[in-house]
Chain A
Amino acid sequence: MLSLATHAVNPHSPIVMVSGLEKNYGNYPALKGIDFEIRESEIFGLIGPDGAGKTSTFHILGGIMDESKGEVAILGKDPRQVRLDIGYLTQTFSLYLDLSINENIEYAARIREVPEAKFKERRERYLRIMGLEKFGDRLAQNLSGGMKQKLALCCALIGRPKLLLLDEPTTGVDPVSRRDFWDVLGNVAAEGVTIAVATPYLDEAERCNRIALIHKGQILEMGTPAELKRNLGLKRLELRTRDIESSFDKLEDALKAKTVGDAISDVQLFGDRIDVLVRDTDAGKEALHSLLSADLKPEIVEEDATLENVFVSKLSSSEHAAAPSFPEAAREAKSGQAIAAHSISKIFGHFQAVKNVSVQINYGEIYGLLGANGAGKTTTIKMLCGLLDISNGEVSLAGRKTELRSVKLRKEIGYMSQKFVLYDDLTVMENLNFYCGTYGLSGKERKERIGWAIDTFELQGNEGTMAGALPGGWKQKLSFAASVLHQPSIIFLDEPTSGVDPLARRQLWQYIRLFAKNGAAILVTTHFLEEAEHCARLGFMVDGQLVAEGSPSEIKAAQPGVLISLKVSNTPKAYEALREIFEEWQVSIFGANLHVVLDNKEEDMARCQQKLADNGIRIFTSRQLPFTLEDAFISIVQRSKRNK
Chain B
Amino acid sequence: MGSGFSALLVKEFLQLLRNKQLLVILVITPVVQLCAYGFALSPEVKHLRLGVIDYAASPVSRDLIAALTRNQVFDLEDSGGNETELSLKVRDGKLDAGLVIGPEFTRTLKQGKRAKVQILLDAVDANTAGITTGYMIQIFNNFTSEHAQTQVGVDFVDLDSTFLYNPGLVASWFFVPGVIGMVLNIAGILVSSSTLLREKETGTLEQLLMTPVSSAEILIAKIIPLLVVLFINIGVSLSISMGIFHLPFRGDPLALFLISLLYIFVVMSIGISLATISSNQRQAMLISFFITMPVITLSGALAPLESMPEFFRNLSLLNPLRYYIVCLKGVLLKGVGLDILWPEVLVLFVFAAVLLSLSASRFRKQMA
A residues sitting closer than 8 Å to B (CB atoms) are: 385, 387, 405, 407-408, 410-411, 413, 415-426, 430, 433-442, 483
Contacts and interface: CB of A to CB of B under 8 A. Distances in A.
Contacts of B202: 419-420, 423-424
Contact of B15 (A411, A417, A426): A426
B13 to A, nearest CB: 11
Contacts of A418: 203
B18 interface: yes
The listed residue with most B CB atoms (<10 A of its CB), out of A417, A418, A430, A441, is A417
A483 B207 contact: yes
Interface of B: 2-4, 6-8, 10-11, 14-15, 18-19, 202-204, 206-214, 368
The listed residue with most A CB atoms (<10 A of its CB), out of B4, B6, B15, B210, is B210
A489 B228 CA distance: 39
Contact of B209 (A387, A436, A439, A441): A387
A433 B15 contact: no
A466 to B, nearest CB: 8
Given A424-B202, A437-B4, A430 B11 contact: yes
B325 to A, nearest CB: 35
A445 B19 CA distance: 32
A-B pairs with the 5 shortest C-beta distances? Answer: A437-B7, A419-B203, A415-B210, A438-B211, A407-B212
24 contacts: A385-B210, A387-B206, A387-B210, A405-B368, A410-B210, A410-B211, A410-B212, A413-B210, A417-B206, A417-B207, A419-B202, A420-B207, A421-B207, A422-B204, A423-B204, A425-B14, A425-B18, A430-B14, A433-B10, A434-B7, A439-B212, A440-B3, A440-B212, A441-B3
Contacts of B7: 433-438
A438 B213 contact: yes
Given A419-B202, A437-B10, A438-B7, A425 B212 contact: no
Nearest to A433: B7
A425 B2 contact: no
Contacts of B4: 437-440
A419 B7 CA distance: 22
Given A385-B210, A420-B203, A440 B14 contact: no
Contact of A419 (B206, B212, B214): B206
A357 to B, nearest CB: 20
Contacts of B18: 425
B8 A438 contact: yes
Given A433-B7, A437-B4, 7 more contacts: A410-B212, A415-B210, A416-B207, A425-B19, A430-B14, A437-B6, A437-B10
B203 A423 contact: no
Nearest to B215: A405
A610 B204 CA distance: 58
Given A415-B207, A421-B207, A437 B15 contact: no
B179 to A, nearest CB: 31
B212 A442 contact: no
Contacts of B10: 430, 433-434, 437
Given A434-B10, A440-B212, A425 B206 contact: no
A186 B137 CA distance: 88
Nearest to B209: A387
Nearest to B210: A415
B212 A411 contact: yes
Contacts of B211: 410, 435, 438-439
B3 A421 contact: no
Nearest to B203: A419
A385 B206 CA distance: 11
A10 to B, nearest CB: 49
A440 to B, nearest CB: 5
Given A387-B210, A433-B7, A438-B208, A425 B203 contact: no
A420 B15 contact: no
Contacts of A422: 204
A408 B6 CA distance: 19
B368 to A, nearest CB: 7
Contacts of B3: 437, 440-442
Nearest to A482: B207
B212 A438 contact: yes
A425 B207 contact: no
Nearest to A479: B207
Contacts of B206: 387, 417, 419
Contacts of B214: 407
A423 B15 contact: yes
B14 A426 contact: yes
Nearest to A406: B212
A202 B213 CA distance: 41
Given A387-B206, A417-B203, A438-B4, A423 B11 contact: yes
Contacts of B6: 437
Contacts of A442: 3
B360 to A, nearest CB: 18
The listed residue with most A CB atoms (<10 A of its CB), out of B2, B8, B206, is B206
A613 to B, nearest CB: 55
A407 B211 CA distance: 8
Given A420-B203, A433-B7, A425 B210 contact: no
Nearest to A407: B212
Contacts of A437: 3-4, 6-8, 10
Contacts of B203: 417-420
A440 B2 CA distance: 8
Contacts of B15: 423, 425-426
B364 to A, nearest CB: 12
A251 to B, nearest CB: 37
A387 B203 CA distance: 13
A339 B19 CA distance: 41
Contacts of A421: 204, 207
Contacts of A416: 207
Nearest to B6: A437
Contacts of B368: 405
The listed residue with most B CB atoms (<10 A of its CB), out of A413, A417, A420, A437, is A437
Contacts of A385: 210
Contacts of B207: 415-417, 420-421, 483
Contacts of A419: 202-204, 206
Contacts of B8: 434, 437-438
Nearest to A442: B3
A98 B15 CA distance: 34
B212 to A, nearest CB: 4
A420 B200 CA distance: 11
A126 to B, nearest CB: 34
A411 B213 CA distance: 10
B320 to A, nearest CB: 32
A433 B11 CA distance: 9
A343 B219 CA distance: 35
Contacts of A438: 4, 7-8, 208, 211-213
A430 B10 CA distance: 9
A418 B212 CA distance: 19
Contacts of B14: 425-426, 430
Nearest to A386: B210
Contacts of A411: 212
Contacts of A425: 14-15, 18-19
Given A417-B206, A421-B207, A426 B11 contact: yes
Nearest to B17: A425
A422 B210 CA distance: 14
Contacts of A410: 210-212
B11 A434 contact: yes
A338 to B, nearest CB: 16
A442 B368 CA distance: 27
Contacts of A408: 212
A433 B212 CA distance: 15
Nearest to B9: A437
A358 to B, nearest CB: 23
A407 B4 CA distance: 11
A433 B10 CA distance: 10
B191 to A, nearest CB: 15
Contacts of A424: 202
